[in-house]
Chain A
Amino acid sequence: MALNRLTVSMSPHDYGHDSVKKIMLWVVIAMLPAFIVSAVFFGLDAIRVNLIAIAACVFFEWLIQKIFFKGKSTVGDLSAVVTGMLLAFNVPSNLPWWIIIIGALVSIGIAKMSFGGLGNNPFNPALVGRVFLLISFPVQMTSWPKVQVMNFALTDAQTGATPLAIVKEGIKNGQSFGDIMSNMPVSYSDMFMGQMGGSLGEISALALLVGGLILLIRKIITWHIPVSMLASVAIFTGVLHLINPAAYADPAFHLLTGGMMLGAIFMATDMVTSPMTPKGQIIFGVGIGIITVLIRVWGAYPEGVSFAILIMNALVPLINNWTKPKRFGEIIKK
């Protein structure tokens, strides 16, 4: 039967075995360590926020697809799950459910689907959602619950400031960085493990690095963006710290606190919104690093990773244009 009608198509006739769905699935798997850490430190609240965010993102994608695009549903590619999880990672664990749903609507509806769905959005959807919430609901978005190891009771936990906010406030009040750190309830090793206040997915540098390793091994991301971003932050803050150790925090503090690791590994490396060439990716990473430090040190907000990534997202088309690969056999005009 098959022989009566052979299939004819252009070469190649062999295809690689990667697909969008597989890539997204691996991103989800890479986020699991950070997810588990958040569940350990923030209890059931962390799971609640994640589930609401994922469900809302998937639902909005399905709904918008159904109403406006009319085509086959794209929910199956799992990109909405990734967006939902990233959004959840970027908010405090005690965020009310309705704010999460608004965030999901902004992420999927405005940042993603209004541009035509996966692949067409210029800005990272989860970050757009997060920044929207940060500006609209500053109080709820910055009251961070204190970490309580393995407390699974759904009680109203105490809230406190993040290390970044404590340092920013302290330096503004004229204290020296050393003094602030000596009063800090958490040590650097606590920060590395994740035992500090903050958005639920950003706390543990260790878990995020494990996730990053998974992504690197699966070749979903390359080293260029995370390394250039973290290195530029380290160098910039290192220089500042050397000039005036009292007024500026040291590089280790900057690298371990806030959304630095989450941003470098999962947000900035988003394929859709990052440059195409390695050279461009390095420019992109360095840009994010510098803007982040500028905001953290001199800006009004204690944290600047999300703004920095969104600003650099806007420059991606320009960076792509600047950093064309050198073609094979191209003669460079002198």
Chain B
Amino acid sequence: MLKTFPKGGVHPAENKLSKGKSITRLDPPKTVVIPLSQHLGAPAQAVVAKGDQILAGQLLAKAGGFVSANIHSSVSGVVAKVDKMPDSSGYRQMCVVIDVKGDDWVPQIDRSNDLKTGIPSNPDEIRAKIAEAGIVGMGGAGFPTHVKMSVPQGKTANNLIINAVECEPYLTSDHQLMMEKADEIIIGVMLMQKAIGAGKAYIGIENNKPDAIAHLSDIAKKYSSDIMVQGLKVKYPQGGEKQLIKAVLKREVPSGGLPIDVGCVVQNVGTAFAVYEAVLKNKPLFERVVSVTGKSVKNPVNLLARIGTPISELIDVAGGVPEDTAKVVNGGPMMGKAVADLSVPVTKTTSGILLITEKEALRPEMFNCIRCSRCAGVCPMSLEPYLLKNMVNVSRWEDLQPEHVLDCIECGSCSYTCPAGIPLLDYIRLGKANLNKILRSRKS
């Protein structure tokens, strides 16, 4: 039986061009630029200096607080500099630049392809290894995984939900990972179950990936009866945490609350694989699967790339930048971030690189709102984007709060669907930022 979340959502064209392309390992580039803030929360603090000899998997920067994550080197070589470099948003942030020499890994890392199944009995040990390996949510937000895994006192997490929805059009990295590393993923899920003490685990997959649903179901049966693979109807934004919980368990995370408030922890399927590698193979998170795709890309691919590789190198493997490219997006078309420059590095949260053609790069022409109410109809959080936009236009920041503007998950369904071409989400983001500013100043 297929499930989905009840209200809102859109159906953008899927365009899964790199579907079925097996994951190719990309050799380390000549130099890597590893940003020290690839996650939500405080940036990590560098523990290496210029001139240090580095092995792949070696710690480069320590977590700079509880909500933060370790950063490891993805290559072996010499630290060229530790300095501020532009990140994908163009602002400067601390980065470690490494000149690559050879490909030597830290000896503790198990580089073989052997499957390991021994699950440690102590949840704390699993959590410590996850924290040590610097794993963050690999779906896009980059929330440190060990923080999510620490269930606060007085709360229980009975259900672990694995987000394998991949509702973003174009992207196929999770899909391909599930097809190739199903055993590892299921063991990763069991590790996470153990870490948070969740009795049940659900893997939510949209039914545009029937092969993945069948494959994972088969593998899951081999290991545990507590892992359910749940097929879901195709609808964007099903990969949103709250939408996924609603779809799978019919529970509604309260406004302003977290999944843990309804006894759930949601993790991305890529994170499950990273957890497996970290706990059983001692391998920190320093490479990830990235889809390189786009309508005019010669050879759409799924690559296993080292963190810090410039995205231009990945695009080269996919056949180079097509002539008619006008926009390059780090992530999927619905929630990804457009980059201004192709030298920005792959980070822990780069699930795809999308090259958009000239024809589709520019936004449609903007007309007056015709009050068709489609934005309100597609909003998965049942907000009224047209109303929020009107309030932002006249700077009524405080009035946005009772309209639940802070619940917006920024999925972009409203902007996508607007027939008048109004970038509603731009306005809502502006409103959220200004409201948050006011709320912060009130607190202090």
Contact = CB atoms under 8 A, between A and B. Distances in A.
A14 B373 contact: no
Interface stretch (A56-64, A288-296, A324-332): A324-332
Interface in A10-28: 10-16, 18-20, 22-23
B410 interface: yes
Interface string B298-342: 000000000000000000000001011111110101111111111
Given A20-B370, A331-B254, A11 B410 contact: yes
A84 B417 CA distance: 27
Given A8-B338, A324-B384, A327-B404, A14 B326 contact: no
B407 interface: yes
B415 A325 contact: no
A206 interface: no
B36 interface: no
Interface string B364-392: 10011111110010001111101000000
Interface stretch (A114-122, A174-182, A183-191, A242-250): A114-122
A154 interface: no
A2 B417 contact: no
A15 B418 CA distance: 8
Contact of B334 (A14, A23, A77, A119): A14
Main secondary structure of the interface of A (DSSP, over half): loop
A11 B237 CA distance: 13
B416 A10 contact: no
Interface stretch (B159-167, B225-233, B276-284, B352-360): B352-360
Given A15-B415, A329-B255, A6 B340 contact: yes
B7 A328 contact: yes
Interface string B24-68: 000000000000000000000000000000000000000000000
A277 B373 contact: yes
A7 B326 contact: yes
B429 interface: yes
Nearest to B415: A12
Given A14-B333, A18-B419, A6 B255 contact: no
Interface in A248-276: 271-276
A9 B252 contact: no
B274 to A, nearest CB: 24
B327 A13 contact: yes
Contacts of A271: 370-373
B327 A119 contact: no
Nearest to A272: B371
A3 interface: yes
B425 interface: yes
A37 B284 CA distance: 73
Contact of A77 (B335, B367, B384, B386): B367
Given A19-B419, A276-B386, A328-B7, A13 B334 contact: yes
Contacts of A330: 254-255, 382, 404
A11 B255 contact: no
Interface in A275-326: 275-277, 324-326
A9 B255 contact: no
B368 A117 contact: yes
Most chain B CB inside 10 Å of its own CB: which residue of A273, A277, A325: A325
A14 to B, nearest CB: 4
Contacts of B338: 6-11, 13
Nearest to B356: A13
A8 B364 CA distance: 14
A2 B337 contact: no
B325 A3 contact: yes
Given A12-B333, A20-B370, A329 B407 contact: yes
A325 B382 CA distance: 6
23 contacts: A2-B324, A10-B423, A12-B334, A14-B13, A14-B169, A14-B360, A15-B363, A15-B421, A16-B416, A16-B418, A19-B367, A20-B420, A23-B370, A23-B372, A117-B368, A118-B367, A118-B370, A119-B420, A276-B371, A328-B382, A329-B255, A330-B255, A331-B254
Given A12-B412, A329-B242, 13 more contacts: A9-B363, A10-B429, A14-B169, A18-B419, A20-B420, A79-B370, A271-B373, A275-B373, A325-B384, A328-B255, A329-B253, A329-B255, A329-B381
